[in-house]
Amino acid sequence: MTAPSSSVTKTTVHQVTNAPGTPTSSPSPVHDVPAHPPEPANPAYPSYPEAAKPAAPAQKPAEAAAQPKKPSNTSSSSPINHSGSHWAMTYSPYTPSGDCKSSSDVATDVAAIAAKGFSSLRLYSTDCNGLSAAATAAQSHNINLILGVYISNSGISVARPQIAEIVTWANNNGHWKGVEMIVVGNEAVFNNFASAEELASFVSEAGSAFRSAGYDGPVTLTETVDTLAKHADVLCPASDIAAANIHPFFNGKVTASGAGEFVASQLELLAQTCPGKEVYNLETGWPSKGSANGVAVPGNWEQRAAVEGIRKMAGGKSAFFSFVDDEWKEEGEWGVERSWGCSQLFD
């Protein structure tokens, strides 16, 4: 995706995950990017039936039998470093008003992330020159990159040019050094931006293009755990690793103090959903402001308790959301959309 600073695409992330031992379904908007035109502050979210812990993925239905095989899973030249208590931080290069940050501002942000001990930086797309600016800064601070190909409500055809942008960037660099993972789509199936079959095919297409250009690391997608469980037979084979966005707040039955246990249990469920795959949590956190969602209460103390719990139980495989509050967003359901900035908790 390439977008001018005044017009950048948007996604709304929903988390439909299960409290430990208590499968439930609950919608959750989380990650956005500046939108044009803007989406309503309180969109209607689909609800899903309760999801039991899956056994081995079911046999593919006949209509999905023609799905392309996943790219060969090869070892990365930049192995995923998920040791410690905080592996990655999510980052979007937008100002509080939703414009693109300057390269110098991006460099300052990446330096701050590096100083807090993160080994990786997750980008959602190629817009705002974020790939070039963030990559340059990340390399200077020895931070790995989790690159993203963003799929919006415009669909896969509009997302496809990002593949070429990433390949061009790598060719200009002369290498894929520091690229730890590439994520194609961010809850595209859950948001009905693509079907499971369309997304699986696009992941295969993107993976082939990246490998032809010399990349040998994992290519994956990320959805909610429930979405992956519903489409495990299609989505799991398409990914080199299993990745999900896991947000305890949106479950509604998880307190801030139980966030770490919740995330750990969801990673276990993810491992059962996609057997034999390494599992990663590509988006997680807790809001500092807003209204309660059941027993999930936003607040500064609650955010600190939740983040500390996640760090203790699953921080080495989690990307924390997000670097700073996103003031350009609509407040959204429960009034929490702007209030996920958590980098201050890692000082």
The residues annotated as belonging to the active site are: 187, 283
Contacts of 157 (CB under 8 A, 6+ apart): none
Asked if residue 342 lies in contact with residue 90, where contact means CB atoms within 8 angstroms, the answer is: no
What is the rounded distance in angstroms from the CA atom of residue 225 to the CA atom of residue 227?
Answer: 5
Write phi, then psi, for 170 (nearest 5 degrees). Answer: -65, -40
Query: Helix, strand or coil for residue 332?
Result: coil
Q: What is the DSSP string of 157-225?
A: HHHTHHHHHHHHHHHHHTS-TTEEEEEEEESTTTTTSS-HHHHHHHHHHHHHHHHHTT--S-EEEEE-H
Asked if residue 149 lies in contact with residue 166, where contact means CB atoms within 8 angstroms, the answer is: yes
What is the rounded distance in angstroms from the CA atom of residue 32 to the CA atom of residue 25?
Answer: 21
Q: Which helix (H) or strand (E) holds 114?
A: helix 103-115
Residues belonging to the chain: 347
| Nearest C-alpha neighbor of 241 from the set 306, 174, 319, 175 | 319
Q: Could you tell me the two tokens for 129?
A: 């020159």
Q: Quick one: DSSP state of residue 334?
A: G
Q: Which amino acid, one-letter code, is at 66? A: A
Write phi, then psi, for 41 (nearest 5 degrees). Answer: -65, -30
The residues that bridge with 222 in the sheet, in sequence order, are 186, 243
